[in-house]
């Protein structure tokens, strides 16, 4: 019933944030970040189970581990960067949030280059 805990934490934190943000914006940002960390800690076991199942599926399908690890890194970076950028926006730092998102996109591109090169090599091998 973790989803009920997450739902309750979200509703309580939102109610608290609506009230506190009027008087202490700095404290509201800290509460928002803390709530995000708590929610992440609540889902870490499920997240590990998903990664394990994807790994098992990749092994059964005979996929190169490079592909799965790259996809998992891209997903992880995307979620974490999104969380950080939204935290910046919550703190009224929109430009900083956009810069963090841009940096995340560059990191994803950097991580994905080996996979793109492997796909390109495979395509070139198929051509006469």
pLDDT (tens digit per residue) in 11-57:
999 999 989 988 888 888 889 889 989 999 999 999 899 989 988 98
pLDDT at position 82 over 90: yes
Portion of the chain with pLDDT greater than 70, in percent: 99
Quick one: pLDDT band at residue 61, thresholds 50, 70, 90? Answer: confident
- Angle, CA 71 vertex, CA 113 and CA 42 arms, to 5°: 140
The answer as to whether 107 is a domain residue is yes
**By C-alpha distance, which of 53, 8, 16 is closest to 32?**
16
1-5, 85-89, 103-107, 109-113: least confidently modelled range: 1-5
Going by pLDDT thresholds of 50, 70 and 90, the confidence category of residue 108 is very high
Cβ-based neighbour number of residue 65 at 10 Å = 10
Q: Identify the top-confidence range among 57-61, 62-66, 109-113.
A: 109-113
Domain-embedded: residue 72: yes
* Total number of domains in the chain: 1
Q: Note down the domain range covering 118.
A: 64-128
pLDDT at 1: 61
Give which of 46, 63, 113 is closest to 55, Cα–Cα.
Answer: 63
Whether 89 is covered by a domain: the verdict is: yes
User: CA–CA separation, 28 vs 108, rounded Å?
Assistant: 30
- 42 assigned to some structural domain: no
């Amino acid at each position: 019933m973790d989803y009920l805990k997450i739902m309750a934490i979200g509703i309580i934190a939102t109610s608290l944030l609506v009230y506190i943000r009027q008087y202490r914006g700095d404290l509201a940002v800290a509460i928002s970040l803390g709530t995000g960390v708590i929610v992440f800690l609540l889902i870490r076991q499920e997240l590990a189970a998903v990664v394990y199942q994807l790994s098992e599926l990749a092994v059964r399908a005979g996929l190169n581990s490079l592909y799965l690890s790259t996809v998992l890194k891209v997903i992880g970076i995307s979620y974490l960067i999104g969380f950080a950028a939204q935290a910046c926006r919550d703190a009224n730092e929109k430009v900083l949030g956009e810069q963090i998102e841009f940096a995340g996109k560059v990191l994803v591109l950097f991580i994905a280059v080996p996979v793109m090169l492997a796909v390109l090599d495979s395509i070139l091998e198929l051509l006469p």
